Structure 1
Amino acid sequence: MPGGNLPSEISVALARAGLVAVPLNVRLTASEMIYILDHSETRAVIAASEFHETLHAIRADTRIEPGRYVLIGEASFPGGIGYESLIEQARGTHVFDAVDPGETYALLYTSGATGQPKGVIRSHAGSALMALATAVEMGFSRTDTALIVMPLFHANSLYFASTFVHLGAACIIDDRRSFDPEGLLATLAQEKVTFTSLVPTHYIMVLALPEAVKNRYDVSSVGKLMISLAPARQDTKLAILDYFHNSELYELYGSTEAGWVTLLRPPEQIAKLGSVGREWDGSGAIRLLDEHGREVPGGEVGELFSRTPYVFDGYWKNPEKTAEAFRGGWCSVGDMARRDEDGYIWLVDRKSNMIISGGENIYPSEVEDVLGEHPKVQDVAVIGIPHETWGETVQAVIVLHDGQQASAEEIQHWCKQRLAGFKCPRSVMFIADADMPRTATGKIQHRKLRQRLQ
């Protein structure tokens, strides 16, 4: 839970010491944080000053012992140790044993598609191989300066930060709690940044600034930009290239488990708009399989399996889900896709109806479980609906029990007490049970519901 430029310092120190990092999404609720801390068997927490209050509130419900809370800034509660004080107490230079490449580097918890979040096991070797692949494919070197905007509990930021640390290049961490579009431009100009990775929402907010504001900053140093985590429209991409006139634009598809899978390169951005590109150079291969494990013909939809040299080592304490993720040496996170005649990959369903809002992954089933506990709710479906700024927002479609009445505000308040804010429905619709689209076995058809409401 660190802030400032310390995340990179702490991440490198943990890796060098052979300790396992568990980046924690600070937007989670207290119960979600407690689950991850306990499930991961975390034995110490490092937290920035703005998170001391949250940590103090939950510490009685965790297994972490007093004296294992390292607090950046002044220690604000009993049992906490100041980060700087801890460093000052160190005895000279400690020589660490060499870390085996196959050992675990980090546990990265994904949002729970079904049930609780899963801890993705990433090795030191996998991290190094992905850094090498990124540097080779995108032409990075130690002379680059990267700006990491998304928090380091996101795999996207963690993987790019690791690349620049491996190269010995400058890596700037933007620790603002909320995205500041003008602040971004100021940092790009002041630090002569050469690369950053943003989600479409970030770009839209930057481009919406008044021309006088945008013209105030020299962003000519930016030579490469990444856009990912959600689809981007043609007008957005063209506007990005117009404003960042010295930059090339890339788009990637990947996952916490598989790492980078495909890349849409600069010359392909408009010609293959909507595609996520082809395999990264030297990173492996892709297969699209039907439910029987057979390769589907070109143009048809299949489940996307990738085989990369930096694939994850399984889910922590979850052998069943680990087995489900692999077919031989091939890994899948449940995305459905098709391949066109030129070999480009086009995603059809993103992670079993996953919603991507402002770059955050939201799984409908997690929200549906919470809504289903409401005493007035008989059945519910949660879908993503298009939003001009955030890409998608969460919509709940609810069937109430006979004779019950509820308001959208009542449902939203129920969710806000049980879920992180970004997972809560922005809109609520009530329908009759007969109007909920279902399969012959009674399963709700989310795709048909989206088509009906969009």
Structure 2
Amino acid sequence: MNEVPVVRAADSTAAQRRVAGALADRGIGRGDRLVVSATASPELLAVVLGALRTGVVPVVLDPALPAAERAELVADADPALDVGDDPGQLLGDTEADLAPFPLARPMHYTSGTTGRRKGVWSGVLADDDARALATEEINLWGFGPDDRHLVLSPLHHSAPLRFAAHTLLAGGEVLLPGPFDAARAARTITDQAPTTTFCVPTHLQRLLREDVDWSSFRLLAHAGAPCPEPVKRAVVAALPDGAVHEFYGSTEAQFTVCTTEDWLARPGSVGRARPGRTLSTDERGQLWCAVPRWARFEYWRAPEKTAAAWDGDWVTVGDLGRVDDDGTVWLDGRREDLVISGGVNVYPAEVEAVLDAHPGVVESAVFGVPDDDWGQRVVAAYVGTATPDELAAWARERLGPAKRPKSTRRLDELPRTSTGKVRRLDLPGVLGL
């Protein structure tokens, strides 16, 4: 078995100082943006934290993005520097001082309901707010010097990066076994005895098929997609008592935490509000959350979308749900056409825009169908002369892996309502899926 890289807090802090020195030497400072799109590595974590602890905001992109999509996001972010897939170039010889805590949140791009990605921007925080933001996360999950955090998800996603970064800030270690492989992850868990991890239900489904010694975990947190009840019960039974936590949140904001005890008492719920937050619903059943000052954000260069998301201190990301009298939150869904595949949100409009650009496609409709491994898989129906193989090759060149249709089916026409809208929810039946 290949040795699993271990990132130790002291080593990472020293590397972060070198990153801070390199940024200062280049004249990059507070409020500037730094683009990085690299796979998980000690260098990536050092660049993200070294930038944040000097007030530089890292814009963390998926390294698998097609070139055209990446170029569009980089142009939108308007960075002072783009280090691409080589964060190590910022590990220079000069060191600079670091703030005790990150002075900002990384900027991530999240898909919008119209298919256009939105940058989630929090700016540079006042020192008190920066301290409160980091302290909240560290205290909520109890991160400390004895922790060994196992990274199972790509670090360009907000939750995996947040868990790894705050483990290092609390003095712990981070294990980086590489792209998720169930057998390798099982060996790492058994051999390296991690104490914490973040994952999505797809990881759990695959790990349950392996021979895993779960006994070292004090915390396994999962989110990103609904977890099937049999999977959840199997994980709860396999891990030490009380170790399994679920949470509900998004790239933009974090809302609830659900302990093992709370979930067993209310299976299917997503817990109660995080400390300092309050959740309620409006007349449409849309969930709103009042958040503390340090959790505020805006959509980068999209004031109209920011205005739609906020009402005073209350924010919504469009999810529908219920809040019981005791504060327990239940999710009823988001958009009916949202696909969650392996914990990644896939908005059909974004995929359809790519497929419809093919010269052999008249129109397309994208939807999700249940999948044992991924929760849902992306499927496309289309009208046109292109062959499924041609359309699959087109998508491979222009879409990240999670967004590519796993199957494409040609139809003479798409099913529509009386007003002409495509009946997405009818497509699985039309296609016999």
Q: TM-score if structure 2 supplies the norm length?
A: 0.81
Answer yes or no: is 1:203 the counterpart of 2:204: yes
Equivalent residue for 1:166? 169
**Separation (CA, whole Å) in 2 of partners of 1:346 and 1:448:** 26
**Separation (CA, whole Å) in 2 of partners of 1:283 and 1:353:** 32
> 1:313, CA displacement in angstroms?
2.3
Answer yes or no: is 1:219 the counterpart of 2:214: yes
> 1:245, CA displacement in angstroms?
3.7
Amino acid at match of 1:157: P
Amino acid at match of 1:375: P
Q: Would you say the 8 A contact 2:242–2:261 is kept in 1?
A: no
Answer yes or no: is 1:267 the counterpart of 2:261: yes
The sequence identity of aligned pairs, in percent, is: 31
Equivalent residue for 2:79? 42
Of residues 115-124 and 155-164 in structure 1, the stretch that sits farther from structure 2 once superposed is 115-124
Question: Which of 15, 25, 29 in structure 1 is aligned with 2:66?
Answer: 29
- Relative to structure 1, the CA distance from residue 115 to residue 202 in structure 2 (aligned partners, 3 Å threshold; closer, same or farther) is closer
> 1:5, CA displacement in angstroms?
1.9
Equivalent residue for 1:292? none
**Separation (CA, whole Å) in 1 of partners of 2:192 and 2:175:** 9
> 1:133, CA displacement in angstroms?
2.9
Question: Which of 281, 285, 295 in structure 2 is aligned with 1:288?
Answer: 281
Q: 1:244-259 counterparts in 2 under 5 A?
A: 244-245=239-240, 248-258=243-253
Q: Would you say the 8 A contact 2:415–2:426 is kept in 1?
A: no
Q: TM-score if structure 1 supplies the norm length?
A: 0.77
> 1:364, CA displacement in angstroms?
0.8
Question: Which of 406, 411, 415 in structure 2 is aligned with 1:436?
Answer: 415
Equivalent residue for 1:157? 160
**Structure 2 regions of 5+ residues with no counterpart?**
1-36
Answer yes or no: is 1:307 the counterpart of 2:290: yes
Q: Helix, strand or coil for the counterpart of 2:106?
A: strand
Amino acid at match of 2:137: T
Aligned length: 391
> 1:443, CA displacement in angstroms?
3.0
Question: Which of 2, 8, 24 in structure 1 is aligned with 2:45?
Answer: 8
Amino acid at match of 1:275: S
**Structure 1 regions of 5+ residues with no counterpart?**
52-69, 73-81, 290-295
Equivalent residue for 2:373? 389
> 1:246, CA displacement in angstroms?
5.1
Equivalent residue for 2:28? none
RMSD (Å) for aligned C-alpha atoms: 2.8
**Separation (CA, whole Å) in 1 of partners of 2:257 and 2:221:** 10
Of residues 309-318 and 387-396 in structure 1, the stretch that sits farther from structure 2 once superposed is 309-318
Amino acid at match of 2:74: L
**Separation (CA, whole Å) in 2 of partners of 1:316 and 1:148:** 28
Q: 1:363-442 counterparts in 2 under 5 A?
A: 363-398=347-382, 400=383, 404-433=384-413, 436-438=415-417, 441-442=419-420
> 1:321, CA displacement in angstroms?
1.5
**Separation (CA, whole Å) in 2 of partners of 1:305 and 1:420:** 31
- Relative to structure 1, the CA distance from residue 32 to residue 14 in structure 2 (aligned partners, 3 Å threshold; closer, same or farther) is same
- Relative to structure 1, the CA distance from residue 245 to residue 284 in structure 2 (aligned partners, 3 Å threshold; closer, same or farther) is closer
> 1:393, CA displacement in angstroms?
0.4
> 1:389, CA displacement in angstroms?
0.5
**Separation (CA, whole Å) in 1 of partners of 2:101 and 2:260:** 37
